Chains A and B, each alone.
Chain A
């Protein structure tokens, strides 16, 4: 097995452990299990980073282009944001209940789609904009994943009391946290779209073509734009927005990785391709 793959699967295993600990912790209401879950996530993050790094070093090509690579990097940012948040004074132990299972499943999916690294970057991708684009997309995803995590905690705390639920911040505070992460994710998706527009303009001379990948990213952005308006202009709060954040996350996973990449790109037409 190539070394990057070995590290990759170690990371998947540790994320799986972390996911289990979080879920069991919630069911058994055991604080200890959450700590184990957090450390497993931290421990998994190391081989995850190494896997990305070695792949990059081996080929000299930034590993962001195939679906598998894109998923791997999206999960990387999500876990990073999760770990950073958990290392602040505000640590909210059960946050990983949503974040880590999603990270685990997406990583597993990335592993299933794994392909050996390309030896050449396609010319259209040889642009500095792609960096801004990918950072925007992956942090945006990490942020809305966390937002959905807070949404879930909101719904759980509303139904349950005592034990670990006592230690959670009160409902309006969870609600605000979820909103903040949505707003941050919305900005990062905005960055993704703006840099994508500049990139398209550099390569094709058009900043917007309504092509499927563009429309999919607009969809994710609009979904959270609507969230913000429901909150600010319609004064929605609490349960409804918590559900919204959870459902929007699914839409996000589909629009980010599911469908855009299965859309065949045409337009090659006349070009000599050898």
Chain B
């Protein structure tokens, strides 16, 4: 029987991945705090590896249909797509929190795309770059692109994904200037990339904790 995505990594490898995501998110929080000149809390309560269908189902069950995503493609030893996803209804609130000040609704709408792209770029880059550095690899990361739609559209972008694709699904809490916004980071990886990630995690564990590869 083919193992499910949660079985692809063992407990310690998933722990290491969560730790790497936390390091990355912390770096993103520092960069965002510098940008907004205020304290930013970014926390990751949970990291899970799920199938693409499960990611679509989870988003469909938990969130309204209208979502907004900042999308970036990354390439290297691990290749895939990273998406920062928020309910569209919270997107203006996020922009208002990031920009700050007393802007009119027209001004916020005007700045929405740019502010979302910049915020997403900082969060996703902080996460991806820190993970790549810790794993002693480099990643080429594309410019951010804003998408509007449903989860199934975000996870079926061209070129068509493989049926065996795995989604690293990261729940994030984002708080700045009295706004508290929940969202998701999803990293869509194909099977060769998951295998490469697993090998890099084994090396990483051995390096930082002296655990011999199993």
Query: Do these two chains really belong together in a complex?
Result: no
**Interface set of B (CB-CB < 8 Å, partner A):** none
